[in-house]
Structure 1
């Protein structure tokens, strides 16, 4: 998967006319790390991939080549892509997310009009726009516009499993597929 991610990342970067250094700086990622990711020699964390995808204005699933089952992690969180599709001219991504207790995952802003829908399958979760998070119990859900920093955290010292649906508006410009 690292090779596919690297190819897609390079394709998106060059389609925008950006250098490795320009993307690295804009995403807050080390230039050497970005080069290793593009060359397929480094497995990026979920946080790094989101920083790069957000900077490029792309859904994470595009970097994952829309491959169901593709999985990425950062400390305290694992996301597995279940599905991605185009519905009513919007990109819709569906992820199974496992949250470890005691960790708070912070996700940067995705862009204008991007909406997240979170359903708690097991456990309790605090999620939403930073500073306005809500606690969500098993079987309940919450929705927010993710054009600002947002967080996810398992509560009560227990792990939690959620399904996350992210809807990207039709204005997202996907680069050519490598």
Structure 2
């Protein structure tokens, strides 16, 4: 008989099955790795058995995930991000990730105009690495003494311990950038 369950239980069951299938494992293969019987595991996946914490820990470990990730609640507000533009001279920024984003990185879309070069001509330095891809236009990337053009569809990745600046080249450029904590503070929350 199928148990009456809350929505989180259903999500956990789907995650277990999905992770197992993604690894190409049968019920028998996963059951052997987490020391449960295949029939118990089958009933857990289908809702025929209540999920017990002492079963979830070895299942999560066998699937190469954590208990926290396996039972993480599914919330609609985490799915759709509605960024608000933040403007400064020559730069409009939209934060495209949540505050508690994966691995502590921030994703931002940036529209840079030629005005940015005169408003912020100097390059900054901070710990970490930076990555961006050009969505439209051409970016002029200054790394120390070198200047490179990064065109639509191209990407750049570099150490941020080198003085660096990204400006528009001959018009407006739009980029998608990924920052670690230090990069976010230096580029998105400076001043």
Normalising TM by the smaller chain, what interval?
Answer: 0.3 to 0.5
Structure (1 or 2) with the greater helix fraction? 2
* Structure holding more strand per residue: 1
The TM-score with structure 1 as length reference comes to 0.47
Q: If you compute each CA radius of gyration, which structure gives the higher value, 1 or 2?
A: 2
Looking at both structures, which has the greater relative contact order when contacts are Cα pairs under 8 Å and sequence separation is at least 6?
1
